[in-house]
């Protein structure tokens, strides 16, 4: 798919169609959380570096649930790139585009999807050979209509996007129907409060609902 993101890994994420975006406060929740998502059909996750438990959670998941594609999000510094690699991350994601972070990811051999919101962001990403891009925040910035308009001048370059922000079971199908969308970022699959409460069956149900929508949309 692009030189900054391993093609086989990008293909696997696109096949799943959704990446569960997670905020984990306690590493002991990591394994049951991963298994709950997997039971619903979601096998790609992004553990955000918004809590001290994120990297420990990653280690727990990669050891106990290796069939899950586990990446790290909210990577804001070159140092965090190295921490993610050492913890076993399959890929990295950022809310924005930091050239130093992208250079560190390239040096470390970490597949990386930077966050973009403007044509200038896209051009900066292209300078680093990134063509799989996180569109964030999706809905607050204008949603799918904005993404189409903003990315139109670059359509011939084969860019693919992972929208995140304001997505849910009600609006996800419209995004998935667009050919430029590789997968969705799903923060609604496992909200922080459900994780803290250990409501694994609810997380499985939300995941299964999303997977059913993905399958139905892609069959059209």
Say which residues have a Cβ less than 8 Å from residue 38's Cβ, sequence separation at least 6. 65, 67, 68
Tell me the percentage of the chain whose pLDDT exceeds 90.
Answer: 97
Residue 4: the pLDDT is 86
Catalytic residue list contains 46: yes
Q: Render pLDDT for 42-67 as a digit per residue (tens, 0 to 9).
A: 999 999 999 999 999 999 999 999 99
DSSP 156: G
Say which residues have a Cβ less than 8 Å from residue 94's Cβ, sequence separation at least 6. 73, 74, 75, 76, 101, 112, 113, 114, 115, 134
pTM to 2 decimal places: 0.96
CA distance readout (Å), 165 to 29, 49, 201: 24, 17, 24
Mean pLDDT calculated for residue range 138-155: 98
**Roughly what angle, to the nearest 10 degrees, separates helices 143-151 and 119-127?**
60
Q: Mean of the per-residue pLDDT values for the chain?
A: 97
Structure tokens at 67: 């069939």
Cα dihedral sign, 115-164-22-113? negative
Catalytic hit among 14, 46, 107, 148: 46
- CA 140 remoteness from chain centre: 18
pLDDT of 220 > 90? The answer is no
Residue 3: the pLDDT is 55
Q: In what order do the strands lie in the sheet with 111-113?
A: 111-113, 91-93, 69-73, 44-48, 18-22, 184-186
- The CA distance from 49 to 80, in Å, is 9
Catalytic hit among 134, 170, 196, 220: 134
Q: Render pLDDT for 97-109 as a digit per residue (tens, 0 to 9).
A: 999 999 999 999 9
């Amino acid at each position: 798919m692009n030189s900054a993101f391993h093609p086989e890994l990008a293909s696997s994420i696109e096949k799943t169609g959704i990446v569960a975006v997670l905020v984990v406060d306690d590493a002991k929740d990591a394994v049951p959380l991963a298994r709950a998502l997997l039971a619903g059909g979601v096998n790609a996750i992004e553990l955000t570096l918004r809590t001290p438990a994120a990297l420990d959670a990653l280690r727990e998941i990669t050891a106990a649930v290796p069939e899950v594609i586990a990446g790290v999000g909210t990577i804001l510094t070159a140092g965090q790139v190295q921490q993610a690699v050492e913890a076993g991350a399959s890929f990295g994601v950022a809310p924005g585009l930091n050239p130093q972070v992208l250079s560190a990811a390239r040096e470390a051999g970490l597949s990386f999807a930077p966050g973009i919101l403007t044509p200038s962001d896209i051009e900066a990403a292209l300078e680093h050979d990134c063509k799989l891009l996180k569109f964030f925040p999706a809905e607050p910035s204008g949603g799918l209509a904005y993404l189409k308009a903003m990315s139109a001048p670059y359509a011939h370059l084969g860019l693919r996007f992972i929208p995140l922000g304001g997505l849910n079971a009600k609006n996800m199908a419209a995004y998935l129907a667009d050919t430029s969308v590789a997968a969705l970022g799903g923060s609604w699959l496992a909200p922080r409060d459900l994780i803290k409460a250990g409501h694994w069956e609810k997380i499985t149900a939300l995941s299964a609902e999303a997977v059913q929508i993905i399958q139905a949309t892609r069959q059209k």
